[in-house]
Amino acid sequence: MKLNTLFLGLCGASALAFAAHAETITIATVNNGDMVRMQKLTDDFTAKNPDIQLEWVTLEENVLRERVTTDIATKGGQYDVMTIGTYEVPIWAKQQWLLPLDGLGADYDAADIIPAIAGGLSADGKLYAAPFYGESSFVMYRKDLMEKAGLTMPDAPTWEFIADAARKMTDRAADINGICLRGKAGWGENMAFLTAMSNSFGARWFDEKWQPQFDQPEWKNTLQFYVDLMKEAGPSGASSNGFNENLALFQQGKCGMWIDATVAASFVSNPKDSTVADKVGYALAPDTGLGKRGNWLWAWSLGIPAGTQKAEAAQKFVSWATGKGYLDLVASKEGWANVPPGTRTSLYNNPEYQKAAPFAKMTLDSINSADPTKPTVKPVPYVGVQFVAIPEFQGLGTTVGQLFSAALAGQSSVDDALAGAQTASVREMTRAGYIK
Amino acid sequence: MATRQTSTLARFMMAPSVILLFIWMIVPLAMTLWFSFQNYNLLNPANVSFAGLFNYKFFYTDPAFFQSIWNTLVLVVGVLLITVIGGIALALLLDQPMFGQGIVRILVISPFFVMPPVAALVWKNMIMHPGYGVFADFAKFFGAQPVDWFAQFPLFSIIIIVAWQWLPFATLILLTALQSLDGEQKEAAEMDGAGIVSRFIYLTIPHISRAVTVVILIQTIFLLGVYAEILVTTNGGPGYASTNLPFLIYRTALLGYDVGGASAGGIIAVILANIVAFFLMRAVGKNLDK
Amino acid sequence: MARAVSTRRKIGFTVAAWVVALLIFFPILYTIITSFKSETEAIAGFSLVPSGTLESYAEVQAQSNYFKFFLNSVIIAVGSTILALVVAVPAAWSMAFSPTKRTKDILMWMLSTKMMPAVAVLVPIYLIFRDTYLLDTRIGLTVMLMLINLPIVVWMLYTYFREIPGEILEAARMDGATLWGEIVYVLTPMAVPGIASTMLLNIILAWNEAFWTIRLTTTNAAPLTAFIASFSSPQGLFWAKLSAASTLAIAPILIMGWFSQRQLVRGLTFGAVK
Which of C81, C157, C100, C82 shows the shortest CA–CA distance to B214?
C157
Under a CB-based contact definition with an 8 Å cutoff, are residues C146 and B58 in contact? Answer: no
Phi and psi of A206, rounded to 5°? -135, 150
Looking at residue A98, the DSSP 8-state letter turns out to be B
| Strand partners for A23 | A52
**Quick one: which H or E segment has residue A68?**
helix A61-73
CB neighbour list of residue A132: distance below 8 Å, 6 or more residues apart: A34, A35, A38, A83, A299, A300, A301, A302, A321, A322, A340, A343
**What is the least distance, in Å, from the CA of C176 to any CA of chain B?**
11
Is residue B71 a part of any domain in this protein?
yes
Domain count, chain B: 1
CA distance A138 to chain B (A): 23
Whole-angstrom distance, CA of residue B275 vs CA of residue C8: 50
Alpha helices in C98-221 (DSSP H): 103-112, 122-131, 138-162, 166-174, 179-181, 188-208, 212-215
- What pLDDT is stored for residue A11 in this prediction? 40
Q: Looking at chain A from residue 367 to 386, which residues have their Cβ under 8 Å from any Cβ of chain B? A: none
The Cβ-side half-sphere exposure at C94, using a 13 Å CA radius, reads 27
Domain that holds residue C72: 65-229
Would residue C57 count as lying in a domain?
A: no
Question: Lowest-confidence range among B8-22, C16-30, C39-53, C228-242?
Answer: C228-242
Instruction: Tell me the per-residue pLDDT of C102-147, one tens digit each, with 9 for 90 and over.
Output: 888 888 888 888 888 888 888 889 989 999 999 999 999 999 999 9
User: Residues 6 or more apart from A230 whose CB is under 8 A from it?
Assistant: A179, A181, A183, A238, A408
| Contact state of C138 with A273 under an 8 Å Cβ cutoff | no
**Best of A399, A422, A426 to disrupt the B interface by mutation (most B CBs within 10 Å)?**
A399
Q: How confident is the model at residue C235 (pLDDT cuts 50, 70, 90)?
A: low
Residue type at position B110: S
What is the ipTM, given to two decimal places? 0.84
Helix/strand/coil (H/E/C) assignment for every residue in B131-195: CCCHHHHHHHHCCCCCCCHHHHCHHHHHHHHHHHHHHHHHHHHHHHHHHCCCHHHHHHHHHCCCC
B116 contacts chain C (CB < 8 A): yes
pTM given for the model: 0.86
Could you tell me the residue range of the domain that residue B161 belongs to? Answer: 65-242
Top-level CATH class of A2-135+298-356? alpha beta
Q: How far is CA B211 from CA A1, B88, C193, in A?
A: 43, 10, 16
- For residue B85, tell me if it sits in a domain: yes
Q: Find, in chain B, the residue whose alpha carbon is nearest to that of A250.
A: B131
Chain A positions in Cβ-Cβ contact with residue C134 (cut-off 8 Å) = 4
- Cβ contact (<8 Å) for A67 and C215? yes
Q: Which residues of B touch A399 (CB under 8 A)?
A: 64, 251
Chain C residue numbers with beta carbons less than 8 Å from the beta carbon of B97 are 5, 9-10, 13
Mean pLDDT of C200-208: 88
> How far is residue B149's CA from residue B163's CA, in Å, rounded to a whole number?
16
Residue A408 and residue A231: Cα distance in Å, rounded?
8
Q: Which residues of A86-99 are buried (b: 16+ CB within 10 A; e: fewer)?
A: bbbbbbbbbeebbb
pLDDT for the residue numbered C272 = 30
Report how far residue C142's alpha carbon sits from residue A44's, in angstroms, rounded to the nearest whole number: 37
Rounded to the nearest integer, the mean pLDDT of chain C is: 82
Give me the pLDDT at residue C2, please.
41
Query: CA-CA distances (angstroms) from residue C226 to A17, A77, C210, C222, C257?
Result: 21, 19, 8, 6, 22
Q: What is the pLDDT of residue B183?
A: 64
How many Å lie between the alpha carbon of B278 and the closest alpha carbon of chain C? 9
* Residue A340 region by backbone torsions, left for phi larger than 0, else alpha for psi between -120 and 50, else beta: beta
C52-109 pLDDT tens trace: 888 889 888 888 888 999 999 999 999 999 999 988 888 888 888 777 878 888 888 8
Pick left, alpha or beta for residue A204 (phi over 0 → left; psi -120 to 50 → alpha; otherwise beta): beta
B179, with CB counted inside 10 A (0-12, 13-18, 19+), is middle
Interface of B with A in 48-87 (CB under 8 A): 54, 58, 61-64
Task: Give the separation between CA C211 and CA A59, rounded to whole angstroms.
Answer: 13
Number of CB pairs, chain A paired with chain C, less than 8 A apart = 107
Q: Which CATH number fits domain A136-296+366-431: 3.40.50.10490, 3.30.70.141, 3.30.465.10, 3.40.190.10?
A: 3.40.190.10
Burial class for B50, CB neighbours closer than 10 Å (0-12, 13-18, 19+): exposed
Instruction: Please report whether residue C40 resides in a domain.
Output: no
Pseudo-torsion of CA C19, C23, C28, C33, nearest 10°? 70
**Strand duo A81-84 + A23-30: pairing:** parallel
- Segments making up each domain of chain A, as ranges: 2-135+298-356, 136-296+366-431
Q: List subunits contacting chain C, requiring 3 or more Cβ pairs under 8 Å.
A: A, B
CB interface of B with C, residues 173-202, below 8 Å: 175-177, 179-180, 182-183, 187
Q: For chain C, how many structural domains are there in total?
A: 1
List chains touching B (3+ CB pairs under 8 A): A, C
Residue C51: phi and psi, rounded to 5, are -75, -10
In a domain? residue B189: yes
CA distances from B42 to A66, A89, A392, B45 (A): 11, 15, 10, 6
Residue A266 distance to chain B (closest CA, Å): 22
Mutate to test the interface with C, among A39, A53, A59, A250 (most CBs of C within 10 A): A59
At residue A113, φ and ψ (nearest 5 deg) are -65, 135
B58 contacts on A by Cβ (under 8 Å): 427, 431
Whole-number pLDDT of residue A166: 95
Tell me if B261 is assigned to some domain: no
- Contact list in B for residue A408 (CB cut-off 8 A) is 238
Report which residue type is found at A347.
Answer: L
Assess contact for A395 and A220: CB atoms under 8 A. no
Residues of chain B contacting residue C45, judged by C-beta atoms under 8 Å apart: 132, 137
**CB distance from C103 to chain B under 8 Å?**
no
The CATH number of whichever domain residue C80 belongs to comes to: 1.10.3720.10
What pLDDT does A174 receive?
87
Task: Output the pLDDT for position C103.
Answer: 81
Indicate the residue of B28, B125, B250 with minimum beta-carbon distance to C124.
Answer: B28
Model pLDDT for residues A307-345, shown as the tens digit of each residue: 899 999 999 999 999 999 999 999 999 889 889 999 999
Whether the Cβ atoms of residue C30 and residue B134 lie closer than 8 Å to each other: yes
Query: Amino acid identity of B261?
Result: G
**Parts of chain B with a pLDDT under 70:** 1-7, 182-187, 189-191, 193-194, 285-290
CATH code, domain carrying B231: 1.10.3720.10
Please check whether residue A214 is in contact with residue A418, taking contact to mean a CB–CB distance below 8 angstroms: yes
Q: How far apart are CA B167 and CA B83, in angstroms?
A: 5
Interface membership of C111 toward B (CB under 8 Å): yes
Cis peptide bond upstream of A100, omega within 30: no
- Cα A282 to Cα A257, A367, C153, distances in angstroms: 10, 14, 58
Residues lower than pLDDT 50 in chain A: 1-20
Which residues of C fall within a CB distance of 8 Å from A394? none
Tell which wins on pLDDT, B236 or C265.
Answer: B236
Nearest 5°: phi and psi at C255?
-65, -40
Return the pLDDT at B1: 39
- Distance from the Cα of A329 to chain B's closest Cα (Å) equals 35
